[in-house]
Each structure stands twice: as C-alpha cells, then as structure tokens.
Amino acid sequence: MKVKIITLGCKVNQYESQYMMKSLVSSGFSLSEDCGQSDVVIVNSCTVTATSDKKVRQTVHKARRENPLAVIVLTGCMPQAFPEAAENIVEADIVLGNSNRAFLIPRIRQFLSSRRRIIDIEPHGDLFEPMDVIDFHGKTRASVKIEDGCNQFCSYCIIPYARGRVRSKPLDDLKSELRGISGKGYKEVVLTGINLSAYGQENGLSLCDAVKAACGYDSIKRVRLGSLEPERLSAEVIARLGRQRKLCPQFHLSLQSGCDETLKRMNRKYDTEVYEQIVCDIRKTFGNAAITTDIMVGFPGETDAEFEKSLNFAKKIGFAKIHVFAYSRRPGTAADRFDGQIGPKVKEERSHEMIAAAQTLKENFFKHQMGLREPVLFERACAEGVYEGYTENYTPVHAESAADISGEIIDAVISGVCGDYCTGTLCL
C-alpha cells in the first residue's frame, strides 16, 4: 500500500514524521509523493496558533478532495490539544493524538478491516516515547528528537497541553541513535525538542550531556541546536557548551517580547536583563555567533509604549533573524481570558514594523559576514551550477560549482549579500 505523510509545524514534527515513515516502510508500506495516488494519507498536525488549526482543516479537506477513497489519518498536536475539534473534522477516518504513535499501523489495519471511524487520543505518559531515525529522506542534515513536553505554562501557549510534561530521551538511547546516524554519513546533526533547554532535568542530566554525546562521533562534523528557552542557559551551561568544538555557533533563543511588563503577563521566567546577559555570555563564548529569535506582537495588554520597548530591545540585541508573529488566542490558556485583547489592525501594523526592523538587522548581520572564510555544508542545487548551503552560524550561502557538491563541507569566502542569502566563492 502507498502512503503519503504531510507534515505541518516544527522540526520535532518533522522528525516524528520521519519515524512514522520508517515504521510504515518496515511494515510493508511504500512511500508516495502523490496524494491522489496514495492509499493512506497521514496529516501530522501543528496547533501552535489558530492559523495552524485552520491549515490542518484545509489540508485534511484537500486530501479528501484529491483522493476520496484514501484512508485519511489526522495525528499530532492538534488532536491532542483539541480532541473535540479534531473529531469534528469528519474527513479524517482515523484521529490519533501525540501519545499513541505506536498504534498508528494497527489502527490503519483496523480501519481497513472494519471501515469504521477510529478516534484514539490518550493522555501523555511520564516516559519519553521510544523512537529512532537514522535515514532522513531527502535531507542533507540529520535530526534527533531528544526531548518532549514543557512544564513552563506560558500564559499564551497550548503546547504543554499538546505535548505533556518534560520527558527526555535516555542518554544510552541517544548514543545508539547517533551511532546509527554517524554510520550513514550525515555530517551534521540537529538536536531538537519541545523545550530543548530542559533536556535531562528529570534525571539529573543537562543539554550539555546530549551535546557532548553528539560531538563524540568522528564522522559527525557539526552539531546544531534547535529552538532554546532561555531560563536554563546559565553561564555554567554556556561555558560547558563552549568546550564542545563541533557545536555550531547559532542559537535560536526564544524571546517573545523585549518588554518586561509584557514578559510578566506572558508568564515567561526571565526578564530582558537576564536575556541580554545570556546573549552576552554566548557571544563571549562563541565567536561570530548568530542569535535568532521569536517575537510576538499584539499580546493582550500590549500598549504602544510596550511595543516600542520590545522593538528597541530587538534592535539593541542585534538579532541575525527574527520570526515575527501576532498573538493568537488559544482556548484553554490563561491569556485567552485576559482583558485588553488587541485588534487585528493593530497586530498587523506592529507586525509590519517589527518585520521591517528584523529585515534591517538580518542585512546588518550578513554584512558582518563579508570577507570571512567559512566552512559551508552545501545542501542542494538552487540553480544550474549554483549550490545552496549554510555556514556554521547558519548564514545561507550560494556558490557556483561545476561539480555536484551537495552534502559536502567546503570552505567559501563570503563575497556579497543578495537579499535573503549571501554569495560566496569556493576555496578549492
């Protein structure tokens, strides 16, 4: 039987989709790129915003239109957080949460046998769900999910309800998975998690232990971290991370707001002074580090003055990249019940202003890379004779090459800035 998986959302979702692919293939399914020609279509969902939920519904509807006879499976964060809403997406034949992926294949076979709709959403357990992936279809870089869940309960966030509490991959399991990845020739590994900074907090370990394990394989040349929450990045942790020479100097350090009053209402566990000190410690420890972030605009109660504080703080930090998004109400969260909800027009205006500032900051960062000789992991051809890759600090680089250099790490001198990427000249 042919199966297509559609992945919505973050790198953790992408990893979990890769795991589902592996499980399905080992059970006799074949992977398909064509929804219309697939016997089974799986939608691995995201629910971080209301827009995410809308996209989930649209994706399921589209899959049913394109293939009326396919078995449609809806799984992931959206059913886990909002089971009733997921059940109401009637085009889905099977609805599974995030906690019972082991039942994916049995439920598909059950439906094929009975043709009766299946709703199976169970609470999260206390242990990390065993899964490993060593082949990443169509990917140059490997990724490893090392942590799931979050205990922070930020006032706007539905993720603790979708993902449960912090659970970490056992270190021995992580080393085993990394050993398999290293044997496949992947030169870069990205460590991912829902609250990556919290890795190991329940069993006396820390993120440093996972990074050290990943850096311990000769064939793995680079180790990169996914999105980080600031609250566990102490000076000691940053110093330990700095001793791992393979760790890439790129840190996606979630900010959400550069205004202390807003951060307090968000129930974030730091203020701007703490955040700035973390950035300072990172830049002292890692040369030419890229600091990227997420910033929310239009949070309930955000005044014009608070927005200006957030905007000015972003400029002060000098981020290499900012993901800007407007606050989205999520039923079941504290912020959904707050007074002072901001209208869509104001959110849009503030988004445009923050995005413009983010673009200027990115251009400034790129200009600072000019003239540097950096190792670039080239991923793919982006035009005839032109290849796209990333430096250790995740600066995108396009370089000309007569030979196929996909999957190779080659030094390049950064020679120009062209919009959303830099140009480079290979050092051969």
Q: Report pLDDT digits (tens) over 194-212.
A: 999 999 999 999 999 999 9
In this prediction, residue 101 carries a pLDDT of: 82
In this prediction, residue 99 carries a pLDDT of: 82
Of 10, 264, 376, 3, the residue nearest 162 (C-alpha): 10
CATH 2.40.50 in the chain: give the residue spans.
373-426
Q: Encode pLDDT of 397-412 as tens digits.
A: 999 999 999 999 999 9
CATH 2.40.50 fits 373-426, yes or no: yes
Task: Give the number of other Cβ atoms within 10 Å of residue 271's Cβ.
Answer: 13
Q: How far is CA 364 from CA 127, 361, 371, 406, in A?
A: 44, 5, 14, 28
Helices (H), 215-325: 235-242, 260-265, 272-285, 304-317
Average of pLDDT values for 295-319?
Answer: 98
Of 141, 93, 140, 145, the residue nearest 120 (C-alpha): 93
Residue 138 has pLDDT above 80, yes or no: no
Asked if residue 207 lies in contact with residue 241, where contact means CB atoms within 8 angstroms, the answer is yes
Q: Encode pLDDT of 232-256 as tens digits.
A: 999 999 999 999 999 999 999 999 9
Residue 23 binned pLDDT confidence (cut-offs 50, 70, 90): very high
What phi and psi, each to the nearest 5 degrees, are found at residue 74?
-110, 120
- Compute the mean pLDDT over every residue in the chain, rounded to the nearest whole number: 96
In this prediction, residue 428 carries a pLDDT of: 82
Residue 81 binned pLDDT confidence (cut-offs 50, 70, 90): very high
In this prediction, residue 139 carries a pLDDT of: 85
142-369, CATH topology level: pyruvate-formate lyase- activating enzyme (3.80.30)
Instruction: Supply 298's token pair.
Output: 């239009």
What is the rounded radius of gyration, in angstroms, for the C-alpha atoms of the chain? Answer: 22
In this prediction, residue 368 carries a pLDDT of: 97
Residue 100 has pLDDT above 90, yes or no: no
Residue 169 has pLDDT above 80, yes or no: yes
Instruction: Supply 310's token pair.
Output: 């957030």
CATH 3.80.30.20 in the chain: give the residue spans.
142-369
Average of pLDDT values for 349-353?
Answer: 98
2-120, CATH topology level: Rossmann fold (3.40.50)
Residue 137 binned pLDDT confidence (cut-offs 50, 70, 90): confident
Residue 274 has pLDDT above 80, yes or no: yes
| DSSP string for 234-261 | -HHHHHHHHT-TTB-SEEEB--B-S-HH
CATH 3.40.50.12160 in the chain: give the residue spans.
2-120
**CA separation for the pair 210, 258 (Å, rounded):** 30
